[in-house]
Amino acid sequence: MAIIVQKYGGTSVADAEKIKNVARRVAARHDKGDDVVVVVSAMGKTTDQLIDLAYQMSDQPEDREMDVLVSTGETVSSSLMAMALRAMGYPAISLSGAQAGIGTETRYGRARILSIDPKRIHKELKEGKIVIVAGFQGICEEMDITTLGRGGSDTTGVALAVGLKADKCEIYSDVDGIYTTDPRIEPNAQKLKEIGYEEMLELATYGARVMHNRAVELGKVYNMPILVASSTRDVPGTLIHGGTSMVEQRNKVSGIAADSDVAKVTVRGVPDRPGIAASLFGPLSDAGISVDTIVQNASVEKITDLTFTVARNELDKAMRLMEPLAKQIGAGEILSDVSLAKVSIVGAGMQSGPGYAATMFRTLFDSKINIELITTSEIRITCIIDESKVKEAVRALHKAFELEQAE
Amino acid sequence: MAIIVQKYGGTSVADAEKIKNVARRVAARHDKGDDVVVVVSAMGKTTDQLIDLAYQMSDQPEDREMDVLVSTGETVSSSLMAMALRAMGYPAISLSGAQAGIGTETRYGRARILSIDPKRIHKELKEGKIVIVAGFQGICEEMDITTLGRGGSDTTGVALAVGLKADKCEIYSDVDGIYTTDPRIEPNAQKLKEIGYEEMLELATYGARVMHNRAVELGKVYNMPILVASSTRDVPGTLIHGGTSMVEQRNKVSGIAADSDVAKVTVRGVPDRPGIAASLFGPLSDAGISVDTIVQNASVEKITDLTFTVARNELDKAMRLMEPLAKQIGAGEILSDVSLAKVSIVGAGMQSGPGYAATMFRTLFDSKINIELITTSEIRITCIIDESKVKEAVRALHKAFELEQAE
């Protein structure tokens, strides 16, 4: 008898009917003889509504109180799901993150899980119950409620699967799997049967917002297979796992990611001396601004141009911080551009095979798309291009790397 | 420096503006140098909405899950209140019932408080914080959330006041005090400056729904003064306390209570033999039906009529239970009447002075109001009368006992 952890996202439990539908799926799984642990997100837009309430109280709601507040969303879903299962005649019990033994660091709003103590869950499973766990929440050493950051219910699911030594963590939502690219951009996008953890991480970071990254990272560290599948339709999903054999045998580009939330800042005439980068990027980091790509041109006469990208909603803040800093170090003017996007090719096989970059650049060139910046990881190549060209770029690359062919 | 416990009801925290208003009042109290502990109810109709959701899941939502669900209402209010205070520059922290050390029996939906462990509250107060406690909720031995029954936030307030050895528990709501009778019925109703615990209990049980009864009982057991006052206006409220001197010096009827939620059942021709009452009322009690007044006529030839009253929404259930039982014991027909009401006079001084009953009966007689049943306690006399006459009865009694005169 296997232990199965299933996680259902917010749109899958958005109203009473949907919760009952999920309850039926969970019950069917329990009928098969598996021990089922279900992790639920908050109903639909509940979290947003709670956050909205908080901002009616305060311009800067305190993180600890925010966690007390927003964690109620998942608590509500968990109890409703348990009620729905009981109404169907199934023994079910809801547990809070604390009751499920999810211990976290004391870092409100985005706590990392430090420990899983599955005693209570094991006890309830032993009594034949279906256990419903409120996602997204944990408890820290001070016995205060913490939350795991947006999308944290995915992390709850994978962490519980690891802690319970489950066979698999199943993530159900309105997205039925991982595609070679966004099907709204490229209708020929194919659903992948499987994908490696690192490929998934690169795809997620670079635009394919299907799963919470930390959940994938956790899966990778503990080698816990994660199935991403539809919460409403019985169609095969995508298995994220660490097996290498499958990665080798496949077309070496797994998918194309695109992300239009890109703003570029260029600081001209930066003196090229030690410590300059730190003096510019330290204050950005202190202000909580996440800098993505950084490119420094080769220095000419100890003067260089420094370009970096940030999320668009952080551009103003970044510019305000940059201006006095640039003056201080004797740099020149600061330019910004918000009409940019990232397009990336991702594939585990890329690290062992040459020619991917060349194919990518030629494909973009053939489509008359100018490349502004380039960054790479071992299994990813990202080009920053004009935003107006992003769909065209995705389609051209999807074709060039033959992703429209079913696996 | 005194510890003050304040409780704010649901209508006082019904929306963002109202929560901020309460926060200003709490802050003003903190400015005076008191250690302030605030107990909050759920916002406005939140509890009803959550219960409604539960019944969308199940015809019979399980009590344990219901407690998990409805307790989120108070959790939300507590965090919002803490945010509002912090936005005003006051150190504040929200605590759940469990964090506030409210230990209860394992009896979901209507748990009694077994213990208060105020460690965490004392720690936070010592750090200069205003402590906001989610009302209505506790934690049982199994580490599950329990709730204290409707209106349980009052009980939370008084229990915390006792546990913290506070000077007083202040209950703020849209009701600014205890009146000699319902001012909507009798415009000359007077607000009482003070009232004894037992008088308050009798008034509350018999129609004056201002405070949760268990809260008053708790106040009585631990002799904790309870102030009932307005959450919005700075007018004197009513102090519920155990001092006897004030009770003596006052008009000996404190108030008139009325309650129209009365249904009467009469079982005719009941054989008058031992065990008959138990065989009729045992099943009612097992079915969770609360029987209020019971009157058994003097037996004539070992045959008697037995009359009792229940809440109206329990009449059908009571009748269904009664019919086979009546047959079984050889009783006659069963009659019911839903057009009844209770009117009561309450006063601590009544136990030492005669003539109250006579005055009450004569007053009703003079108003041509027929008395169907009579029950009494040491400090209360209740008459069951026709519902259509209840307002007239309240007004006549209010006048007869000279309650329109200010204290």
| Nearest-neighbour CA in chain B from A30: distance (Å) | 19
pLDDT number for residue A52: 96
Question: Which residues in chain A are closer than 8 Å to B78, comparing Cβ atoms?
Answer: 68
**Tens digit of pLDDT for each residue in A151-172?**
799 999 999 999 999 999 999 9
Q: Do B83 and A99 touch (CB under 8 A)?
A: no
- What is the percentage of chain B residues whose pLDDT exceeds 90? 64
- Give the DSSP letter string of A25-45: HHHHHHHTT-EEEEEE---TT
Residue B187 has pLDDT above 70, yes or no: yes
Residue A249 has pLDDT above 70, yes or no: no
Residue B249 has pLDDT above 70, yes or no: no
Residue A11, classified by CB atoms within 10 Å of its CB into exposed (0-12), middle (13-18) or buried (19+), is: middle
Query: How much is the ipTM here?
Result: 0.82
| Nearest-neighbour CA in chain B from A58: distance (Å) | 5
* Domains B3-174 and B256-400 fall in the same CATH topology: no
pLDDT number for residue B244: 59
Among chain A residues, CA nearest to B57 = A84
Q: Shortest CB distance from B83 goes to which of A65, A75, A84?
A: A65
pLDDT-derived band at A261 (thresholds 50, 70, 90) equals confident
Mean pLDDT (chain B, rounded): 90
pLDDT-derived band at A208 (thresholds 50, 70, 90) equals low
Question: Which residues in chain B are closer than 8 Å to A93, comparing Cβ atoms?
Answer: 64-65
- Which of A120-124, A244-248, A307-311 has the largest mean confidence? A120-124
**Tens digit of pLDDT for each residue in A351-397?**
766 788 888 999 999 999 998 888 888 888 899 999 999 999 999 99
pLDDT number for residue B247: 47
pLDDT-derived band at B135 (thresholds 50, 70, 90) equals very high
Residue A293, classified by CB atoms within 10 Å of its CB into exposed (0-12), middle (13-18) or buried (19+), is: middle
pLDDT number for residue B147: 96
CA distances from B14 to B81, B86, B96, B193 (A): 12, 19, 19, 27
Mean pLDDT of A343-356: 81
- B205 vs B295 pLDDT, higher one: B295
**Tens digit of pLDDT for each residue in B236-248?**
999 999 875 454 5
Residue B251 has pLDDT above 70, yes or no: no
Residue B163 has pLDDT above 80, yes or no: yes
pLDDT number for residue A96: 98
Tokens representing residue A198 in the block: 């690192």
- B295 vs B51 pLDDT, higher one: B51
CA–CA distance, B188 with B201 (Å, rounded to integer): 22
CA–CA distance, B342 with B31 (Å, rounded to integer): 46
Residues in Cβ contact with B46 at an 8 Å cutoff, skipping those fewer than 6 apart: B10, B73, B76
Tokens representing residue A93 in the block: 């019990």
Residue A244 has pLDDT above 80, yes or no: no
Choose the mutation target among A18, A19, A57 for the interface with B, i.e. most B CBs under 10 Å: A57
CA–CA distance, B180 with B193 (Å, rounded to integer): 11
3-state secondary structure of A168: strand
Cβ atoms within 10 Å, residue B287:
12
**Is B16 within 8 Å of chain A by CB?**
yes
pLDDT number for residue A204: 76
Query: Of A318, A350, A349, A356, which Cα lies nearest the Cα of A334?
Result: A318
Residue B151 has pLDDT above 80, yes or no: no
Choose the mutation target among A65, A88, A137, A143 for the interface with B, i.e. most B CBs under 10 Å: A65
Return the CATH fold of A3-174: Carbamate kinase (3.40.1160)
Apex B303 CA angle, B297 and B308, nearest 5: 40
Residues in Cβ contact with A180 at an 8 Å cutoff, skipping those fewer than 6 apart: A186, A189, A190, A192, A254, A255, A256, A398, A403, A404
Q: Could you tell me which CATH number the domain at A256-400 has?
A: 3.30.2130.10
- A251 vs A114 pLDDT, higher one: A114
3-state secondary structure of A66: helix
Mean pLDDT of B11-27: 96
CA–CA distance, A295 with A264 (Å, rounded to integer): 11
pTM of the model: 0.84
Q: Are B193 and B266 in contact (CB under 8 A)?
A: no
Extents of the domains making up chain B = 3-174, 256-400
Q: Shortest CB distance from A68 goes to which of B56, B75, B86?
A: B75
Q: Are A196 and A206 in contact (CB under 8 A)?
A: no
- B275 vs B95 pLDDT, higher one: B95
CA distances from A305 to A269, A299, A310, A386, B114 (A): 6, 8, 17, 20, 69
pLDDT number for residue B149: 87
- What is the percentage of chain B residues whose pLDDT exceeds 70? 95
Mean pLDDT (chain A, rounded): 90
Q: Shortest CB distance from B72 goes to which of A72, A84, A86?
A: A72
Mean pLDDT of A22-39: 96
pLDDT number for residue A188: 92
